[in-house]
Structures are given as C-alpha cells and as structure tokens.
C-alpha cells in the first residue's frame, strides 16, 4: 500500500466546530462565570427579571446566545442603572 493510500485510510479527525461549542447548553455556574456574577444572581435574574433559562429536571440550563440577547436588551440592568439612564429635562 502506497503512502497516499495509507494517508487516505486514516480517519479524518476534524476540530470541533466552534458554532457547536457556542450552541451548547450552559449550567448555572458556567453562566455565572461567563457573566461575571454569582450563581445566586443568575437564579434571581431567572425568577425576577425573566432571564431566559430552561429547567432540565432539577437543573437550570441556558443558551449563551439567548442570554446575550437578553443582556443587550437591558434585561440584566438593575433599577439603579435604569435610574441613572433617565435624565430629568424638566429642570
């Protein structure tokens, strides 16, 4: 068997597709690390601010892209952040 035949007979091992890694479900601790907050904050945001998350048995799972969209839309803004953004132009 020639070198070309041996080389083509080797199984093709591709690197993991980065989009597949980005699309995986994240656990609460992973999401907390990603956002730079505590796990308690993640739980609070899910229950009080509508952070997108899914119950899988007794665990919460998150899609990174959904949480990113939620954060960009202002979902994680605290009431003090909202107050700072409002400027009273009535004098």
pLDDT at 50 over 70: yes
First-to-last CA distance in the chain? Answer: 87
- CA distance linking residue 6 with residue 50, whole number of Å: 56
pLDDT tens readout for residues 12-21 = 555 555 566 5
Three-state secondary structure call for residue 25: strand
Q: What is the pTM of this model?
A: 0.63
| Architecture of the CATH domain 23-77 | Orthogonal Bundle (1.10)
**Residue pair 62/37 in contact by the 8 Å Cβ criterion:** no
- CA distance linking residue 27 with residue 14, whole number of Å: 26
Where are the domains positioned within the chain? 23-77
Three-state secondary structure call for residue 1: coil
């Amino acid at each position: 068997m020639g070198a070309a035949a041996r080389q083509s007979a080797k199984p093709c091992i591709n690197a993991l597709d980065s989009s597949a890694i980005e699309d995986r479900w994240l656990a609460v601790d992973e999401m907390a690390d990603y956002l730079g907050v505590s796990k308690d904050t993640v739980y609070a945001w899910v229950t009080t601010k509508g952070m997108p998350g899914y119950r899988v048995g007794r665990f919460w799972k998150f899609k990174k892209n959904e949480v990113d969209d939620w954060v960009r839309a202002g979902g994680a803004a605290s009431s003090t952040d909202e107050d700072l953004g409002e400027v009273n132009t009535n004098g």
